[in-house]
Amino acid sequence: MPKRLSAEEAKKRFALSRTGLRPGQSALDVACGTGDLAAGLHAQVGPQGYVCLTDINAAMLDHGRSRMVDRGIAGNVSYVQADAQALPFRDESFHCVTIGFGLRNATDKLAALKSMARTLRPGGTLLVLEFSKPVVPFLTPVYDAYSFRVLPALGQLVAGDEASYRYLAESIRMHPDQAALVDMMREAGLEDPNYFNLSGGIVALHVGRRY
């Protein structure tokens, strides 16, 4: 029986289905975290392609590297500690750029979008997978109660860290909604940006292209 995907894995798999990558191409995963998206990108570009993982946090970058190695991925991959707002890559370096659950932590989100868009080759795709705003009316009060009451309490119980989990909830609320992020992507120079609501809009995948 096939392994059942978690909700987060399903969202990442959906994002990967929109990359448009072909074997031999190059991809960049920004704020790489656990390396889940990067591993999927690596599978798509194959042994003749190239994938780069970045994170502003050295510990998270090391964690992503460890997870990639655990998956048996070692060749045609590099790791660069970098700020999404000022990526140290030449213009038009990658066919696809992804960022999963990392844009909301950028101090200047527009600068991060411009930086990522700059590294895209003509015809390349930027994918932004991020928490967003629920579009199903009954979800909003339930989601708010979970985010501001249950989540911090769980953080305190499980990790002894209520503050970090409260910050998570607050950062999600301060993140631009779906339409606002589309406008920011357009301002960043991306063409025809659009989005897909996942889990009733609790998460959204935004897609933009550079022509």
pLDDT digits (tens, 9 = 90+) for 73-126: 988 999 999 999 999 999 999 999 999 999 999 999 999 999 999 999 999 999
Residue 193 — pLDDT band, cuts 50, 70, 90? very high
In which residue are the tokens 């031999």 written? 24
What value does the mean pLDDT of the chain take? Answer: 89
- The answer, yes or no, to whether residue 1 has pLDDT greater than 50, is no
Cα separation, 108 vs 122, whole angstroms: 24
3-state secondary structure at position 4: coil
- The answer, yes or no, to whether residue 31 has pLDDT greater than 80, is yes
Neighbours of 161 (CB within 10 A): 12
pLDDT of res. 155:
55
pLDDT of res. 147:
61
CATH fold of 7-132+176-209 reads: Rossmann fold (3.40.50)
- The answer, yes or no, to whether residue 68 has pLDDT greater than 50, is yes
- The answer, yes or no, to whether residue 2 has pLDDT greater than 60, is no
pLDDT of res. 170:
74
The domain segmentation of the chain, as residue ranges, is 7-132+176-209, 135-174
Cα separation, 21 vs 125, whole angstroms: 9
Residue 180 — pLDDT band, cuts 50, 70, 90? very high
- The answer, yes or no, to whether residue 148 has pLDDT greater than 90, is no
Query: Which has more pLDDT, 173 or 30?
Result: 30
Cα separation, 175 vs 191, whole angstroms: 21
pLDDT of res. 17:
98
- Assess contact for 181 and 195: CB atoms under 8 A: yes
DSSP H helical ranges for the chain = 7-16, 36-45, 58-70, 109-118, 139-145, 151-159, 162-174, 178-187
pLDDT of res. 152:
55
